């Protein structure tokens, strides 16, 4: 049996947040929310876990720092030591103050680009990937809740419709759940 | 509920001050025969006088910053910031007495029985030195007693008047409400930031950089300011945690603490960035009269110099990086105490190598005077907190601050 899904659309983020709180208190499981901008405070309400992006950033930062240090050692000390302003170029440690800015830049470069890439990959929103918001206006001025029936076994479709209709929606639709990507 | 200093806090503070005084006096008696004794005493009063004054000044700056940016979240901790800033008044008094003494001593230039130089604070105040020193003489318009005093009195007057105005309007707002005082604070806060922008640099040149009168750095003002701001944030944090543990400030939630924690993290980086910027420029250029400042510190005080850099940079960076650490009072308290010690070491490094040469050391005198200052400082701040409700009443953003959530 194919999964059915209810899309409840609101025209105000605050109404959606209040509605989500009410529905969750009633025992409804909200799978996802689509919004043109981040809605402050929605994550804990619908049970989205805290992001692990910080760990990703740390891993990329350490990778960048290590690559930079390996680079200094090979390019500037081992392979082709250069005399720049008479600074010592015999060992990495002696010459390290002049490498600090580049080490910092590499760390930031890797952390920033790595985070952006991982973010796009994880959200499946790399350029060219199909959009998965149920309504085109989710990128403009409409806010949509996705409630899957398979996540709410103890409630019938009619129960859910009745509960959602109490929360100030502007539109509600039930259809077969299609995995876009 | 109005805040009252608990008898336990009073006992702890009195014990700290008494112990500090005993250590200081014992240290002074043991050291009184040495040639550097006078310079050591003066250096210590300058270190601690400036260190604690800077904490209060940093809090005053932070308050003005919140006013000028019309910030909402900080309202719940506003009285704590004002409390820390209140030490400005006493700090000004201590520094004025010290500067007066130094002026009458011609900068405290000391020679030993053989006529050799053993220490100084402001050698440019001594006419005999300036006479034989073309470099200092060349800085005459800036490094002269009259100019020093004109601008020092100007700095102190501005700081004092702004503190008094902020405090008066803050208490007035509790009674009157409305937005008139808020907008007045906005204008005055912005004005203070402009004045402080100049004064924080120029005052640090006069009060501290002129100890090494031959040396100069254009980054110096920023560098001392970075350390000052970081220490202020740690003191504000410690006070918030202390008050919360004793059942006050119940409106201050994890998000407020998280935000102050972020400020500590950020200002630690600000300080470290300025430390390294200044260091690397001199290291790279390697001009003898410039680099001597670092050569001396690294050769003669390697442990304190690198120690305080590691403490002030790596410890906040590694420990406070995660979100959870910035919300954990235990971890924050540990980091705050470490940072305060580290930044005291920074101020020590700004002053002692210049004034005492290679003879400086951290002994009973330093520890004792620091404890005495810290005790009196804490008592004065807690006493200010008792004089007004800990939660502002009619601030326009009070409600926003109560519901602060990040």
pLDDT exceeds 60 at position B359: yes
For the stretch B58-83, pLDDT in tens is 999 999 999 999 999 999 999 999 99
- Give the pLDDT mean for B98-113: 91
B293, B212 Cβ separation under 8 angstroms: yes
What sign does the CA torsion over A21, A22, A23, A26 have?
positive
Which residues constitute the domain of residue B313? 7-397
Residue B404 belongs to a domain: no
For B125-169, the pLDDT digits (tens) are: 999 889 999 999 999 889 999 999 999 999 999 999 999 999 999
- DSSP-derived 3-state class of residue B337: helix
With contact defined as beta carbons under 8 Å apart, do B249 and B257 qualify? no
CB pairs under 8 A between A and B: 22
Q: What are phi and psi of A153, to 5 degrees?
A: -65, -30
Query: How big is chain A by its Cα radius of gyration, in Å?
Result: 25
Distance from CA of A53 to the nearest CA of B (A): 12
Q: Is residue B315 part of a domain?
A: yes
Which of the four CATH numbers 1.10.1760, 3.30.300, 1.20.120, 3.30.70 does domain A4-50+136-176 have?
A: 3.30.70
**Averaged pLDDT for residues B316-333:** 93
pLDDT at A1 over 60: no
Is residue B322 within 8 angstroms of chain A, CB to CB?
yes
> Which residue has tokens 């005053």?
B60
**Beta carbons of A41 and B405 less than 8 Å apart:** yes
Domain boundaries, chain A: 4-50+136-176, 53-123
Q: What is the ipTM of this complex?
A: 0.80
Residue of A nearest to B323 (CA): A54
Task: Give percent of chain A with pLDDT exceeding 90.
Answer: 46
Mutate to test the interface with B, among A84, A88, A97, A104 (most CBs of B within 10 A): A97
What is the tally of structural domains in chain B? 1
Question: What pTM, to 2 d.p., does this model score?
Answer: 0.90
Nearest to B286 among A54, A86, A100 (CB): A86
Name the minimum distance, in Å, from the CA of B197 to any CA of chain A: 27
What is the percent of chain B where pLDDT is above 90? 86
When scoring B72, B253, B255, B276 by the number of chain A Cβ atoms within 10 A, the one with the most, hence best to mutate, is B276
């Amino acid at each position: 049996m194919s999964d059915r899904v209810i899309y409840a659309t609101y025209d105000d983020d605050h109404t959606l947040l209040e509605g989500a709180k009410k529905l969750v208190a009633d025992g409804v499981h909200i799978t996802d929310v689509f919004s043109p901008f981040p809605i402050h405070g929605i994550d804990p309400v619908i049970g989205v876990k805290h992001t692990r992006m910080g760990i990703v950033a740390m891993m990329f930062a350490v990778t960048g720092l290590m690559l930079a240090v390996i680079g200094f050692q090979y390019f500037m000390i081992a392979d082709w030591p250069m005399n720049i302003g008479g600074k010592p170029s015999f060992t990495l440690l002696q010459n390290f103050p002049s490498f600090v800015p580049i080490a910092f830049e590499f760390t930031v470069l890797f952390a920033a680009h790595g985070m952006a890439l991982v973010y796009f990959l994880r959200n499946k929103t790399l350029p060219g990937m199909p959009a998965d918001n149920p309504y085109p206006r989710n990128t403009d001025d409409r806010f949509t809740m996705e409630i899957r029936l398979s996540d709410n076994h103890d409630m019938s479709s009619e129960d859910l419709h009745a509960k959602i209709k109490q929360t100030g929606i502007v539109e509600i639709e039930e259809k077969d759940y299609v995995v876009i990507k | 509920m109005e805040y009252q200093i608990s008898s336990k806090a009073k006992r702890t503070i009195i014990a700290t001050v008494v112990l500090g005084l005993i250590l200081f006096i014992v240290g002074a008696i043991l050291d009184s025969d040495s040639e550097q004794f006078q310079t050591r005493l003066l250096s210590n009063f300058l270190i601690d006088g400036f260190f604690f004054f800077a904490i209060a000044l940093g809090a005053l700056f932070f308050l003005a910053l919140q006013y000028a940016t019309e910030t909402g979240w900080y309202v719940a901790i506003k009285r704590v910031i004002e409390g820390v800033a209140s030490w400005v008044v006493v700090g000004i008094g201590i520094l004025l007495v010290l500067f007066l003494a130094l002026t009458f001593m011609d900068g405290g230039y000391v020679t030993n029985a053989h006529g050799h130089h053993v220490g100084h604070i402001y050698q440019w105040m001594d006419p005999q030195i300036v006479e034989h020193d073309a470099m200092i003489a060349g800085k005459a318009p800036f490094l002269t007693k009259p100019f020093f005093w004109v601008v020092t009195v100007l700095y102190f007057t501005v700081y004092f008047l702004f503190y008094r105005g902020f405090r008066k309007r803050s208490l007035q707002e509790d009674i009157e409400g409305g937005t008139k005082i808020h907008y007045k604070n906005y204008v005055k806060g912005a004005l203070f930031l402009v004045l402080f922008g100049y004064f924080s640099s120029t005052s640090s040149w006069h009060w501290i950089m002129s100890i090494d009168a031959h040396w100069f750095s254009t980054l110096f003002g920023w560098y001392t300011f970075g350390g000052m701001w970081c220490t202020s944030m740690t003191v504000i944090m410690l006070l918030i945690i202390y008050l919360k543990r004793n059942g006050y400030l119940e409106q201050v939630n994890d998000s407020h603490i998280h935000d102050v924690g972020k400020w500590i993290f950020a200002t630690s980086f600000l300080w470290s960035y300025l430390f390294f910027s200044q260091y690397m420029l001199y290291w790279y250029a390697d001009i003898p009269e410039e680099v001597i400042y670092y050569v001396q510190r690294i050769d003669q005080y390697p442990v304190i110099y690198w120690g305080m850099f590691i403490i002030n940079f790596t410890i906040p960076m590694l420990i406070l990086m995660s979100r959870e650490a910035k919300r954990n009072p235990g971890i924050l308290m540990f980091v705050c105490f470490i940072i305060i010690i580290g930044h005291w070491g920074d101020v020590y490094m700004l002053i002692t190598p210049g004034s005492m040469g290679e003879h400086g050391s951290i002994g009973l005198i330093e520890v004792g005077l620091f404890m005495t200052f810290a005790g009196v400082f804490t008592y004065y701040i807690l006493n200010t907190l008792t004089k007004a409700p800990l939660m502002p009443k009619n601030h326009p953003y009070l409600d926003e601050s109560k519901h602060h959530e990040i």
